[in-house]
Amino acid sequence: MLRSTVLLFVASLAVLAGCESSVELDFPTTGLLGLTIRDGANTSYCDIDASSSGVTSVATWIETNRDGWDSSIVTYAPSVQLNGDGFSVNFVSDLAVINYNKEQLTHLVSNDVYAGLVCP
């Protein structure tokens, strides 16, 4: 009985984690966003202008890739994290992870999309 309950729970998680979603996140175009960059043991924190080329690159990519996001329950350790009011966008190598509206969604991404996110 316990084994079948555990298998059913694991199967349910796999189904939930594999559901495709759309992203309805609209990036701010003014103000400051928080930026965290982790490089090995070094971590940098700063504010970055929402109209900067790095943020604009990420916002444009999300706008053109609103579909095809996968729900995820996995915890990721990002190398780059962009934080705004009610959302965060994390980048782990070739994966973008968006947290907003009590959801976590993932999508494959090219490193050049977020390469411009640098502390001024």
Residue ranges of the domains in the chain? 20-114
SS3 state at 117: coil
- Cα dihedral sign, 82-88-92-97: negative
| pLDDT value of position 26 | 83
Which stretches in the chain have pLDDT values below 50? Answer: 2-17
Starting at the earlier edge strand, list the strands of the sheet with 103-108.
Answer: 20-21, 69-71, 103-108, 95-100, 87-92, 80-84, 32-39, 42-49
| pLDDT value of position 19 | 66
At residue 41, φ and ψ (nearest 5 deg) are: -85, -10
Q: How far apart are CA 92 and CA 25, in angstroms?
A: 19
- Residue-wise pLDDT for 2-36, tens only, equals 444 333 333 344 444 456 788 888 888 899 999 99
Structure tokens that stand for 68 in this block? 């095809």
Q: Whose CA is closest to 79, among 65, 92, 63, 60?
A: 92
